[in-house]
Structure 1
Amino acid sequence: MKRIVTVVLMLALVQGTRAQKGLPGFGKVDKADLLLTDCDFDKGAGALVLIDYGHTYYDRGTVGFSAFKTVFERRIRIKILKESGMPYADVRIPYYTRNNEQRILKLNASTYNLDAAGKVQATEVKKSSIYAKRLDADYSSMIITFPEVKVGSIIEYSYSMESETISLNDWYFQRRIPVRYSEYKLEIPQMFRFSIQPNITDSIEDKQEVTTKSISLSEGYIETPVLTSQYIMRNLVGIKEEPFMGAVRDYLQRIEFHLMQIDYGDRTDDRRTKWADIVASLKKSESFGKQLETPVPGTASLLAEARAITDPEQRMRFVYEYLRRNLTWNDEDGIFADAGIVKTWETKTGNQADINLLLISLLNDAGLKASPVLLSTRSNGLTLTNYPNTEQFNSLMAYVTIKEGYFILDATNRIIHYKLTPEQVVNTNGFIVEGETGRWKEILSGKYHYKVTAAVQGEIDAEGNMKGNCLVNCYDYARVQRCEELASNPGKFKDDYFYKPYPSVKVEDISINNATADSLPLEQKIKFSTSLNSSGNYRYFTVNLFSDLDKNHFIAEKRFSDVDFGIQQDYNLFGNFTIPADYVFDGLPETTTFSTPDRGILFTRTVNADGNLLNIRITVEFKRNFYGADSYADFREFHKKMFEKLNEQVVIKKKTSP
């Protein structure tokens, strides 16, 4: 990861100059940009952010609610370069709507194209194509539907967001697509003290100026020193996803802000939020803590049956299994309930927080100890334990303690065994909402790995055709992954694991067992045939069939992100091959063992040939699940060598007549 540096600065902002110096005005589109077909500093990009401008200042707050309000002005212009860039014309602006704390105003949007005469043609987005959609009890999204968008178009939109708060928006200079120009301007009264947490690796222009300005209040105005800060970055390449990289967000160049103090001159007000404040707020929330205080009608018989189970672990399992069998997740994550646990029980559907808060409530009513645990999945990004806020979390699950152990349960997942921590949060930090202060917990996978075992038996005839069978067993997290993919799309599942990776192999039959038995490995039986390559009296074949080690994901010479597998991995391949009586083994892979320099990944192969029978065993153990980008060279070299060994050919030769 890029190193994050934290500094504390005194910042300030007020109504200042609205003009965006040096930038073309809204609607002033350069024809050259409409003629643009590629990004000169990030070739092949699907879209390009031409302008991303933000401006924050303070104004008079709402009487009776707050003394100040934050005004955040935003303007974005995007060029659509390829069909793959079209989704960037689907604009959604999230905002916090509880108690009307945030409001989006002055929204303007247009699409620009060149007409037949080569002139710039602007199409304004109609008000009917701009609408708000409620996401949950706390958040909504402003949706803009742009007309006349096609490859070559430019879209542009601007808005003002007013917030009844002193907090600042974080600013992301970088995106998944390249950014030509990004600027964030802040005008902040120096009575407000923020910590600045930059994650910057490229060149940035940073301008600071202190002036005295006026801020209007409900009664008159105040004059105060204001620090005007201007941060500008140019020509930022888009962040490309790399295999097993974790969250893209963690690698985006950005500046984050955290309010620390308000200096009133004669005294200071510490505004640093503590985790105890977060816990107190969550417990008072109607969408969180109050749900756990709400009785759920109609659960008496379920609870009576649960309480009759004397073993605490089996009692927990009973309640968990009942909910995940009978409730339907609506595919929405989050840490706040939407429907609420009573309605979720009645309708048998809800978001992740609805279902798991219901699970926690029932487990506690059944005499167990369960608490909510707030989590950020690996795809969502790292959590910052030193900066208390709930916005960094995107998942709520149940944390259950029994004797000396603990379980992380997610009743929205109908496939995973209760003893397995959900894969998307393994090796992350979770915040357990319990007591007055809560506590952090490192979430581990324990003894459970991603484990695949393949046993291949093949018989080769005199014509060079191999017929065989393979038994693939997937355990623990490998079982979960494959069962999820099988349930989602059975045809694609078979293509991805058995057909596409082995184009020269004809798969004649696949049978799958134990897909609904989460305590058993997923069993996949394959019947196959293939023709050996030949040259004169020689024939060749590979033993690496259906092993789940068919593709090297680490062939790129350079890598900017860390490698995060999440789970430790175990692969076992057993091969038993019989060749014709009139053939002999002429070239065999050697028995070998090698590892990464830190011995975090170990490859072992044993080979034994006896007469016309070949037995081979390959094991690959990933004892480490995380490798920093700085160790990628050795990591890549290991994978290169490993796949060379995996794909080495067995050579057989026809016996010569005496």
Structure 2
Amino acid sequence: MKKVTLLLALAIIVCTPFTSFAQNFPDFGIISAEEKNITNCSFDNDATAVILLDEAVSEHDEEYHLINHHHVRIKILKEKGFDEANISLRYYRKDDFEFIDMLEAVVINTDASGAVSTEKLSKKSFFKKDINERIGAITFAFPNVKVGSIIEYKYRSFMKHYGGLDDWYFQKELPVIKSKYTLTILPNREFSYVINKKPTIPIIVDVQSGSGKVYFEMNNIPALTDEPYMDAREDYLQKVTFQLSGYNTGFGKTNYMTSWDEVIKELTITKEFGGQLEKNIPGTGAFIDATKLLPTEEDKMKMVYNYVRSNMTWNDLYSKYAGSGVKDAWEKKTGNSGEINLILVNLLKDAGLEVYPVLVSERFHGKVNAATPFIDQFNAVFACVIIKERKYYLDATDGYTPAHVIPNDILNTTALIVNRKKGGLVNITNDSLQYSDYISCQMELDGNGTLSGDAFIESRGYSRIKRVSEFKTSGQDKYVNKHYQKNGITVKEFAFLNQENDSLAAEQKFKFNTNLTSSGGYLYLPLDFFSGFTNNPFIADNRFSNVNFGYKRTISTYTSINLPKEYAMDALPKPIKMTTPDNDIVFSRSVTYDKATHSLVCMLLFDFKKSLYTADEYGVLKEVYKKMFDFLKEPVVLKKK
């Protein structure tokens, strides 16, 4: 399915004050006959539940607090939709920036006679909890939910200022029949907004310049579900995004971040960003003096990078800013991604390197639209070091990616180098480094159908980073069970070598055994061991999003098997070489049988020369994967003598 994005940039300015008033949502708890009779979603037949209405109004009081009133109505269509009755309303609790109140919730049921009953949740049904130091949540569960139930809730969110203004998402994980949003702009302020939508889904936009309001409505929006190797969901959701773009001081209009140069300028004078640069990081003088003595700039970069990684602990919070300040974070030895990487920028500069902070949008966060200078398109800040015209991108929250490797999460993305003279947008690419695995298995098959052998796996590039990270994070048992000890295979004497030396390939060695499938005097011997191609991810008929593997991949396997004298060769899979029309995917298989030694050798090659496929190319990709997995299922057939 082709994904087309329509981008509109509009702005309105209001110079008259607006008086806030409570949004009562007068139809709360009152359902229509049409809603009562809905049994399935007409534009999404597989839906287990449907959002009948998702509406919100954002306005302000006389002190310009941001006040959001939200109202949601959902109908349960199938038993699998019962989980939708468990609600979690998150809010930004740090420094008491936001709180939620005026919460009401009801469940509406219809009996066999058509009589409607409404049950209101009591205040005791609402529970407050802290998710982390920044985020809190109010949770509740609707009682007496069954197929046909309508669950409904409304609440108010009160924020200190308009800095908490969120994007409005028309599209959800459930289909939405009606989504509508009204925003009231602050007096003497101008907001730009960008609409991201498919051209096949109409939108209503009503700009009311006199009152400072803008109204958005979209109807019959299908659910957006996750797809294998999907780009960021953000890239495909139907939504509207807002950003302050100007203000009126009484002496004329002043633009605010309406170009990338203005974005850079604003960041350099922001206390939590530019104000954290050129800081003296306490207690690092001796380290910097020692680092300056190293022979090359690459050595200095690696030394500082590893120093920050070993001395700081990431609190799992992404940020572009150092909210607590770099000195405070350094003293506590913990911080968000912005604090840690701005510390890194400071120390790299102290070591005499050319370095700049760079805003990035990691792959899960979504693509950057270069035509729209919206700062919220980026979710984090990294360090960009320039040595002999080569750019290195460093993230000190990443404990596994070496300094010379571009972090996978920003590969093939757009970033913003923040510097008044040398700053600007850059495209981050790397065609030289890829994901590379070599897998060797030396095996022996006995007359009872027991296959045993030794495996050796050598991983380079992004494969090394991924495997070492997963092994250290999950531990040996979980790692081995996930990748090797499955489908009847038992693994022994597992060893993972070269974990700490990132200049060497990662190596895994282990012994394994399994029992083959037999039937009527025949043994069926598979030829694909440990390549990772276990299940075909591309079986859906249609595709909504692009397929993004992240990097190019090459996996090659070498398998040798000594066969038992009790069995004779009956059928041997044929040699295969398969390519796509553009030659960007190559799959090959060679199988040779040596009658004199009664042994066979199989070599497989999986070569993916392209990392990104559009939704339009999905048909070709699906067909290639189907054929490839069909070939991988073909066994060697042995017949008992």
Unmatched runs of 5 consecutive residues or more in structure 1: 63-67, 211-223
| Equivalent in the alignment of 1:303 | 288
Question: Among 170, 181, 186, which residue is 1:184 paired with?
Answer: 181
Quickly say closer, same or farther: Cα 1:47–1:645, change in 2 above 3 A. same
Residues 51 and 76 of structure 1 are in contact (CA less than 8 Å); yes or no, is this contact kept in structure 2? yes
Question: Among 540, 543, 561, which residue is 1:559 paired with?
Answer: 543
- Displacement of 1:603: 0.9
| Equivalent in the alignment of 1:215 | none
SS of residue paired to 1:549: coil
The alignment status of 1:633 with 2:619, answered yes or no, reads yes
Residues 468 and 506 of structure 2 are in contact (CA less than 8 Å); yes or no, is this contact kept in structure 1? yes
Post-superposition Cα deviations, 1:490-532, rounded to whole Å, max 9, x if no partner, equal 23211210123xx133334422222333222222222122223
| Equivalent in the alignment of 1:620 | 606
Quickly say closer, same or farther: Cα 1:323–1:35, change in 2 above 3 A. farther
Residues 6 and 199 of structure 2 are in contact (CA less than 8 Å); yes or no, is this contact kept in structure 1? no
CA RMSD of aligned residues (A): 3.9
| Equivalent in the alignment of 1:218 | none
Quickly say closer, same or farther: Cα 1:118–1:270, change in 2 above 3 A. closer
Post-superposition Cα deviations, 1:200-223, rounded to whole Å, max 9, x if no partner, equal 34443627587xxxxxxxxxxxxx
Quickly say closer, same or farther: Cα 1:198–1:481, change in 2 above 3 A. closer
The alignment status of 1:247 with 2:225, answered yes or no, reads no
Question: Given residue 53 of structure 1, which amino acid in structure 2 is its aligned partner?
Answer: E
| Equivalent in the alignment of 1:74 | 70
Q: TM-score, normalised by structure 2?
A: 0.85
1:81-100 paired onto structure 2 within 5 Å: 82=80, 85=83, 89-94=87-92
Quickly say closer, same or farther: Cα 1:419–1:347, change in 2 above 3 A. same
- Displacement of 1:608: 2.1
SS of residue paired to 2:623: helix
Question: Among 491, 504, 508, which residue is 2:488 paired with?
Answer: 504
Question: Among 529, 544, 559, which residue is 2:513 paired with?
Answer: 529
Partners of 1:492 and 1:398 lie apart in 2 by 33
- Displacement of 1:32: 10
| Equivalent in the alignment of 1:6 | 7
| Equivalent in the alignment of 1:470 | 455
- Displacement of 1:2: 2.5
Question: Among 288, 300, 303, which residue is 2:273 paired with?
Answer: 288
Quickly say closer, same or farther: Cα 1:291–1:648, change in 2 above 3 A. same
Unmatched runs of 5 consecutive residues or more in structure 2: none
Residues 261 and 424 of structure 2 are in contact (CA less than 8 Å); yes or no, is this contact kept in structure 1? no
Question: Given residue 51 of structure 2, which amino acid in structure 1 is its aligned partner?
Answer: V
Partners of 1:348 and 1:266 lie apart in 2 by 46
SS of residue paired to 1:89: strand
Instruction: Give the % identical residues.
Output: 31
Residues 499 and 507 of structure 1 are in contact (CA less than 8 Å); yes or no, is this contact kept in structure 2? yes
Post-superposition Cα deviations, 1:70-127, rounded to whole Å, max 9, x if no partner, equal 76543234567658736961111359x99x9x86686433354779998422124479
Post-superposition Cα deviations, 1:130-175, rounded to whole Å, max 9, x if no partner, equal 689896xxxx656323366685583512226578669985421111
SS of residue paired to 2:363: coil
Quickly say closer, same or farther: Cα 1:129–1:29, change in 2 above 3 A. farther
Residues 262 and 268 of structure 1 are in contact (CA less than 8 Å); yes or no, is this contact kept in structure 2? yes
| Equivalent in the alignment of 1:338 | 323
Quickly say closer, same or farther: Cα 1:49–1:74, change in 2 above 3 A. same
Aligned length: 626
Question: Among 574, 587, 602, which residue is 1:590 paired with?
Answer: 574
Quickly say closer, same or farther: Cα 1:34–1:323, change in 2 above 3 A. farther
1:402-421 paired onto structure 2 within 5 Å: 402-421=387-406
- Displacement of 1:429: 1.0
- Displacement of 1:435: 2.5
Quickly say closer, same or farther: Cα 1:284–1:226, change in 2 above 3 A. closer
Question: Given residue 91 of structure 2, which amino acid in structure 1 is its aligned partner?
Answer: I
Deviates more, 1:471-480 or 1:121-130: 121-130
Question: Given residue 4 of structure 1, which amino acid in structure 2 is its aligned partner?
Answer: T
Question: Given residue 153 of structure 2, which amino acid in structure 1 is its aligned partner?
Answer: E
1:545-556 paired onto structure 2 within 5 Å: 545-556=529-540
The alignment status of 1:109 with 2:110, answered yes or no, reads no
Partners of 1:455 and 1:633 lie apart in 2 by 32
Partners of 2:261 and 2:13 lie apart in 1 by 28
Quickly say closer, same or farther: Cα 1:493–1:161, change in 2 above 3 A. same
Partners of 1:263 and 1:654 lie apart in 2 by 89
SS of residue paired to 1:368: coil
Residues 244 and 563 of structure 1 are in contact (CA less than 8 Å); yes or no, is this contact kept in structure 2? yes
1:367-386 paired onto structure 2 within 5 Å: 367-386=352-371
Residues 510 and 524 of structure 1 are in contact (CA less than 8 Å); yes or no, is this contact kept in structure 2? yes
The alignment status of 1:400 with 2:398, answered yes or no, reads no
The alignment status of 1:610 with 2:610, answered yes or no, reads no
SS of residue paired to 2:499: coil
Deviates more, 1:339-348 or 1:412-421: 339-348
Post-superposition Cα deviations, 1:186-245, rounded to whole Å, max 9, x if no partner, equal 5779996856534134443627587xxxxxxxxxxxxx7469765433343321100001
Partners of 1:121 and 1:168 lie apart in 2 by 33
The alignment status of 1:492 with 2:478, answered yes or no, reads yes
Residues 415 and 516 of structure 1 are in contact (CA less than 8 Å); yes or no, is this contact kept in structure 2? no
Post-superposition Cα deviations, 1:357-409, rounded to whole Å, max 9, x if no partner, equal 11111111011111111111111111122222322211221111111322111
Quickly say closer, same or farther: Cα 1:111–1:125, change in 2 above 3 A. farther
Partners of 1:150 and 1:398 lie apart in 2 by 53
Partners of 1:274 and 1:123 lie apart in 2 by 49
| Equivalent in the alignment of 2:584 | 600
Quickly say closer, same or farther: Cα 1:379–1:87, change in 2 above 3 A. farther
Q: TM-score, normalised by structure 1?
A: 0.83
The alignment status of 1:146 with 2:140, answered yes or no, reads yes
Question: Among 367, 372, 390, which residue is 2:375 paired with?
Answer: 390
Question: Given residue 181 of structure 1, which amino acid in structure 2 is its aligned partner?
Answer: K
Partners of 2:282 and 2:444 lie apart in 1 by 63
Question: Given residue 642 of structure 1, which amino acid in structure 2 is its aligned partner?
Answer: M
Partners of 1:231 and 1:449 lie apart in 2 by 44
